[in-house]
Amino acid sequence: MKNISFGCSSQFSRRSPDRHIGIVVFDGTHLADVACASEVFHRCNAIATAQSSSLPRYMTSVLSCGGGVITSSGSIPVLTQALGQQSQIFDTLLVASGSYNFIRFRERALLDFLQRGRSEARRIAGICTGVFALAEAGILNNRRATTHTALQSKLILEFPRIKLECRDTITEDQGLFTARDAGSASELALRWVEADFGSVMAIKVAESLNADPLDLANEAALVMPVVRKKPGANKMREASHWLLEHLADNINLSAAAESMCMSQRNFLRHFKREFSQTPREFLLQARLDMARHELRVTDLPIDKIGRRCGLGNGEHVAKLFRKYMALTPVEYRQREQGQGCLIS
């Protein structure tokens, strides 16, 4: 049986503008977490390449404490690189689920790697049992986190400083992500694609994967709906694309309904049933998402970003940011660009 390799980064430069993803695995790791996350980043790369040669790319490395071959939960061998061999800085670290050998999470090499990653990486995530590795490293202290329902008592007993969110499927607290269930890697990866490239890209990637419905959450608790795969959804999928393509325009319900050759009442009813929100709410969230993206990756004036995103002038943008994010556009830009995520 061939060993599976999900990416190689031996020539990855510390100065590369691309985003380096490290997926930490162990014997018994849930293979879907590794494969699904890697596939999301691969699809994003393909779409980005088709759009522009200047867009950054994702590079994925699969890592383990000792390197070499590990055996996944499906008895499929996976080729990995040793943590100790990594000298480059990772943009994102993901500890996959599947290993119930909790002693492995106490290995010094792993803890040192995660603690160093906390100061260098933009995001760190743990899925299901992988959350315990982050907890052992101490980086979840006084942070919101979740894990599988059957493991929540164990987590809070052993790590009482964690703010356990029992009902959440995914939590995010200052760049620390935790996911309750094994198999959540694709949803996490799509959220990161949305944060890095915007909702239009995330929707395209999700559609290319025929993904199930996902909530692409962000720090403002604004949820961009990804197209749901259910009977009769094709018309509303077209409508969502039409709205996203006309964000800068003065769109009203009449124009949107006319573009789909539907009455306003019928369009509104189908749209709300499909996305659980009105077209106006959809547009506001998409425009705010685009504005956040522009603030992260450009130095454009707030007024110009507002016009480009269909939000009007800078004063209106500031009002919306204060309402939904509790900070100003300038404060958001300083925070995000200060984390080293500016795209040239």
Q: Are residues 335 and 271 part of one domain? A: yes
Q: Structure pTM?
A: 0.61
**Same-domain check for residues 175 and 32:** yes
User: Is the distance from CB of 215 to CB of 223 less than 8 angstroms?
Assistant: yes
Residues 156 and 34 in one domain: yes
Residue 321, in any domain of the structure: yes
CA angle 295, 339, 177 (to 5 degrees): 100
- Is the pLDDT assigned to residue 251 strictly greater than 90? no
The predicted pLDDT at position 5 comes to 53
Query: How many domains, the chain?
Result: 2
**Residue 7 neighbours by CB under 8 Å, 6+ apart:** 38, 59, 60, 61, 62
Q: Tell me the DSSP string of 154-201.
A: HHHHH-TTSEE-SS-SEEEETTEEEESSTT-HHHHHHHHHHHHH-HHH
If asked whether residues 173 and 275 sit together in one domain, one would say no
Q: Give the model's confidence band at 131: pLDDT under 50 very low, under 70 low, under 90 confident, else very high.
A: very high
pLDDT tens for residues 209-226? 864 444 433 333 333 333
Residues 239 and 153 in one domain: no
Q: Is position 36 within any domain?
A: yes
Query: Quick one: 190 and 235 in the same domain?
Result: no
Tell me what the pLDDT averaged over the chain comes to: 81
Q: Is residue 87 part of a domain?
A: yes
343, pLDDT greater than 60: no
The predicted structure's pLDDT at residue 6: 54
**150 and 53 belong to one structural domain:** yes
Structural domain for 97, as ranges = 19-195
| DSSP class of 316 | H
Residue 212 lies in a domain: no
Average pLDDT of the residues in 80-103? 85
Query: Rounded CA gap, 138 and 120, in Å?
Result: 15
Q: 60 pairs with which residues across the strands?
A: 21
Rounded to an integer, the average pLDDT of 307-332 is 86
Both 88 and 225 in a single domain? no
User: What CATH number is associated with residue 249?
Assistant: 1.10.10.60
